[in-house]
């Protein structure tokens, strides 16, 4: 690979080509970073200046009214703690169900593996659809409970396939043969050898599950009626899209008084930041696994 600085042997069209490449990349970079940056500065700027388009590069008339309003809002904290619980518990259950199954499906000597794999893969293309699934949950009395966030679909077949391919391709066959000579059982081998060797894939599918739980809006929409069980995403919808910005009612009065509506946008920008913060915090740490994870998954179906 040639570095850009090594211009020897390059002709004019190649230099022009590079220039175009870097220019387009810069545009793509800005088109993603600027909207996100704008939300940050808008969340701490005077709403009137934001809405008249005077805030573009730096925040103006910095005030934290939006954030203090968010900290006072009990709905957000209920949603936050619910989502935290569903995410942690849900991801743990996901991994507990997915990893052992993936290990089993990776064992060549397991006779039922082809058949079971097929029955699992079929579910990727066929499903009962919304209504039969909804009625099933109702019959099982799972609607309006927290379990509906944890157990249904706790095995994601895509993630199962990723984990299976990893176990199959990166744990040498000889390892189990040697271990079983010494009397090692499958349970022990899975816990003591296979899992410690598979930290990369465990963290990748753990991350996939984690993000899916954190962003899950659909489950709350369909199955939950009680306000105390609502996940964060439903609360966010009320605030961001249904305009129920203030707990006291959409700026119609309450303690916030006449300036409520004026600050509604500031609250919205703040809510976007507050709800996305956890992901922004962990993002730099998990980011290095992405390529690895997709590479693992794409080895073969």
Interactions with other proteins, residue window 106-135 (CB under 8 A): 107-112, 115-116, 119-120, 123, 125-135
Please identify, among the stretches 84-92, 181-189, 196-204, 250-258, the one whose residues bind other proteins according to the rule CB under 8 A. 181-189
* Cβ 94 to other proteins shortest distance, Å: 10
Which CB, 97 or 255, lies closer to other proteins? 97
Residues 6+ apart with CB under 8 A from 69: 246, 256, 263, 267, 270
* Cβ 129 to other proteins shortest distance, Å: 3
Which CB, 183 or 255, lies closer to other proteins? 183
Regarding 226 and contact with other proteins (CB under 8 A), the answer is no
**Backbone torsion region of residue 6, taken as left when φ is above 0, otherwise alpha when ψ lies between -120 and 50, otherwise beta:** beta
Nearest to 214 by CA among 280, 130, 264: 280
* Cβ 189 to other proteins shortest distance, Å: 9
Regarding 180 and contact with other proteins (CB under 8 A), the answer is yes
Among 241, 255, 258, 281, binds other proteins (CB under 8 A): 241
Which residues 65-84 are close enough to bind other proteins by CB under 8 A? none
Count of residues interacting with other proteins (CB under 8 A): 103
Regarding 139 and contact with other proteins (CB under 8 A), the answer is yes
- CA 126, distance to chain mean position in Å, is 24
Regarding 277 and contact with other proteins (CB under 8 A), the answer is no
Please identify, among the stretches 38-46, 59-67, 70-78, 251-259, the one whose residues bind other proteins according to the rule CB under 8 A. 38-46
Regarding 143 and contact with other proteins (CB under 8 A), the answer is no
Which residues 14-33 are close enough to bind other proteins by CB under 8 A? 14, 17-18, 21-22, 24-25, 28-29, 31-33
Residue pair 268/50 in contact (Cβ under 8 Å)? The answer is no
Residue pair 218/127 in contact (Cβ under 8 Å)? The answer is no
Burial class (CB in 10 A: 0-12, 13-18, 19+), 147: middle
Residues 6+ apart with CB under 8 A from 277: none
Nearest to 195 by CA among 166, 174, 173: 166
* Cβ 283 to other proteins shortest distance, Å: 7
Among 36, 62, 88, 277, binds other proteins (CB under 8 A): 36
DSSP per-residue codes, 266-300 = HHHHHHHHHHHHHHHHHHHHHTTHHHHHHHHHTS-
**Alpha carbons 163 and 279: distance in angstroms, whole number:** 23
């Amino acid at each position: 690979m040639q570095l850009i600085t090594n211009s020897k042997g390059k002709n004019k069209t190649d230099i022009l080509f590079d220039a175009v490449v870097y220019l387009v990349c810069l545009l793509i970079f800005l088109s993603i970073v600027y909207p996100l940056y704008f939300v940050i500065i808008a969340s701490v700027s005077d709403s009137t200046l934001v809405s008249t388009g005077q805030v573009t590069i730096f925040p103006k008339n910095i005030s934290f009214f939006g954030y203090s309003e968010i900290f006072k809002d009990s709905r957000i904290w209920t949603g936050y703690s619910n989502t935290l619980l569903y995410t942690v518990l849900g991801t743990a259950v996901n991994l507990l169900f997915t990893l052992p199954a993936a290990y089993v499906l990776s064992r060549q000597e397991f006779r039922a593996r082809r058949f079971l794999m097929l029955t699992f893969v079929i579910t990727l293309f066929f499903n009962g659809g919304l209504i039969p699934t909804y009625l099933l949950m109702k019959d099982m009395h799972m609607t309006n409970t927290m379990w509906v966030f944890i157990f249904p679909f706790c095995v994601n077949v895509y993630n199962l396939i990723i984990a299976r391919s990893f176990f199959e391709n990166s744990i040498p066959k000889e390892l189990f043969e040697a271990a079983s000579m010494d009397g090692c059982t499958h349970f022990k081998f899975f816990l003591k050898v296979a899992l410690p060797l598979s930290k990369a894939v465990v963290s990748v599918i753990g991350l996939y599950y984690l993000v899916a739980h954190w962003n899950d809006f659909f489950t709350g929409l369909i199955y939950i009626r009680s306000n105390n069980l609502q996940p964060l995403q439903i609360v966010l919808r009320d605030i961001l899209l249904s305009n129920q910005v203030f707990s006291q009612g959409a700026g119609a009065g309450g303690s916030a008084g006449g300036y409520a509506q004026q600050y509604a946008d500031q609250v919205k920008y703040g809510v976007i930041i507050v709800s996305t913060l956890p992901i922004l915090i962990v993002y730099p740490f998990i980011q290095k696994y992405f390529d690895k994870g997709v590479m693992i998954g794409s080895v073969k179906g």
